[in-house]
Amino acid sequence: MTESGYFSFRPSKTLQFLIAGLLLLSITACSAKPSEESGSAAVTASSVQTEKEPITIEYWQYEFPAKVELINTLIQEFETEHPNIKVKQTNFPYDQYNQKVATLVPAGKGPDVINLYYGWLPKYVQSGYLQPLPESSFPGIAEAFFPFVDTAKLNGSYYALPTGVRTLGLFYNKDLFTKAGLDPEKPPTTWEELVSDAKALTETDKNGQLVTEGFAWEPGSQLHHWFRDGLLYQAGGKDTSEDRRKILWNDTPAGLEAFKYLVDFATVHKVGINGFYTDDANAFKTGHAAINVDGSYRLGSIKKDTPDLNFAVAPLPGYKGKSTQASFWANAIPANVTGEKLEAATAFLQFLISKGVQEQWVEKVGELPAQKEVALQDKYVNDPLLGPFISQLNDANAHFFIDETQERTLFVNAVDEVLLNHVPEEQAFNDLVAKTQKLYDDYWAKQDKKK
């Protein structure tokens, strides 16, 4: 409601009166808070000068109970180490997160350290919400962290750093392996083995209806990530160009090969279907799917929902190379944080990525350490459930997102075109690349216009 007036019509007398009244009301309602705010700010500012009161910084993350609880304990730990800093944690529901940030930060109520999904970073950075992390306080990131942390490097600087990370792995049901006459200690390690095992594990009834999925097949869940960061690289392809402007999926035959490999599970091998027991995670947890490609975060929900499930985890099967997908929530510092607050925020961020915190993060939250030194300790590498995920961290890619929902929908639709409309795979794939490229082109055109 700034410059161009949108009340260009001439309202009648009564309406004018009503509008005037409403405006008055809204003005009084709005003005009440900022005046309070500025008052209290003035008080703290003056008291800092006199007797060095502790600085309070605010940490924002979304509502995920394990993370919220752990951060609360960590804050206590941090405050004993830094008696002159106080940290206040604020949480928002996941689906309101961006909305809250967008409305509260411009109002001067923003956080001093903020937790963001890595896929949102380009949007945040381009809108000028974040400042690059001070290099002097965070040296040697490239060496200390696993390669996927590169995604947080924009315009040549790191804008955010993760505490923990998730990767994709192969979950498999040991009981179903034994039942199908397969060795439960020998999960598939190659593309071919995955197909033959999945076939052996699939069970249908007399009507030809699936009873057990050999391979849980849900493109809308994790399979689109598996394609982009797993299969594509394994077949020798690449996701995007260095400047993240061009989709390279069909630059080599690898892309189509990976796409076909994925779709064939449903169309040719018929080992899994969309929506079996509502979705892949559910089918796997209830013992109706033998193999599932899923993230390390699933370990926690299996432990909670189906603690008796006899399952194991293996690295994703490889082909010409190895690769898996990584994704993470990272901590960043908003652009408007300066002076003493910036120092305090930097200290807190350093604390959040410290070895001790990362170790607690694995144990309490279940996300893997993002730093090599922490992750590659024997106790994690040799852990039967964490080990397979950790062993893949070096080959993990975190792809760049323009718009996660749209990109996923495009992928799911391409697969559905083959499945439901019997469009040839090659055509569906080329359409997918073209549509995804258009999404990227539109995005970059807008960005270039802004510059």
Partner 1 sequence: MRTTGVIPSRPKRRLWFGSGIGRLNYRHKQRLFIYGGLLIPLLYFVVIRILPILYSFNVSFREWGMLSPDKPFVGFDNYATLLSDSLFLKSLVNTGIYVVVGVPAQLIAGLIVALLLQQVVKLRGLFRTAYFIPYVTSVVAVSWIFRWLLMKNGIVNALFIELGLGPQSFLYSPSQAIFWIIAVMVWQNIGFQMLIFLAGLQNIPKLYYEAAAIDGATGWQRFVHITIPLLNPVMLLSVVMASIGFLQSFTQVLNMTGGGPLDSTISVVLHIYNLAFKSFDMGLASAATVILFVIIFMLTLVQLKVLGSRFQQE
- Interface residue list for partner 1 (CB under 8 A): 1, 3-4, 6, 18, 21-22, 24-26, 95, 98-99, 101-102, 106, 123-124, 126-129, 207, 209-211, 220, 273-278, 403-406, 409, 412-413, 416-417, 420-421
Q: What is the Cα–Cα distance from 111 to 104, expressed in whole angstroms?
A: 9
**Under 8 Å between Cβ of 239 and 230:** no
The two most distant CA atoms of the chain are separated, in Å, by: 85
Buried-state track 330-340, b at ≥16 Cβ within 10 A, e below 16: bbbbbbbbeee
Within 10 angstroms of residue 218's Cβ, the number of other Cβ atoms is: 26
The CB-of-247 to partner 1 minimum distance in angstroms stands at: 18
Nearer to partner 1, 320 or 438 (CB): 438
Nearer to partner 1, 48 or 434 (CB): 434
The CB-of-129 to partner 1 minimum distance in angstroms stands at: 6
The CB-of-413 to partner 1 minimum distance in angstroms stands at: 6
By DSSP bridging, strand 329-334 and strand 160-162 are antiparallel
Nearer to partner 1, 85 or 412 (CB): 412
Q: Cα dist. 122→126, 159, 394, 400, 444 in Å?
A: 6, 10, 23, 9, 11
Nearer to partner 1, 72 or 406 (CB): 406
The CB-of-332 to partner 1 minimum distance in angstroms stands at: 13
What is the 3-class SS of 353-365, one letter each residue? Answer: CCHHHHHHHHHHC
The CB-of-61 to partner 1 minimum distance in angstroms stands at: 17
Q: What is the Cα–Cα distance from 254 to 287, expressed in whole angstroms?
A: 33
Nearer to partner 1, 354 or 409 (CB): 409
The CB-of-117 to partner 1 minimum distance in angstroms stands at: 12
The CB-of-113 to partner 1 minimum distance in angstroms stands at: 17
Nearer to partner 1, 82 or 408 (CB): 408
Nearer to partner 1, 19 or 48 (CB): 19
The CB-of-422 to partner 1 minimum distance in angstroms stands at: 12
Nearer to partner 1, 416 or 441 (CB): 416
Nearer to partner 1, 1 or 45 (CB): 1
The CB-of-4 to partner 1 minimum distance in angstroms stands at: 5
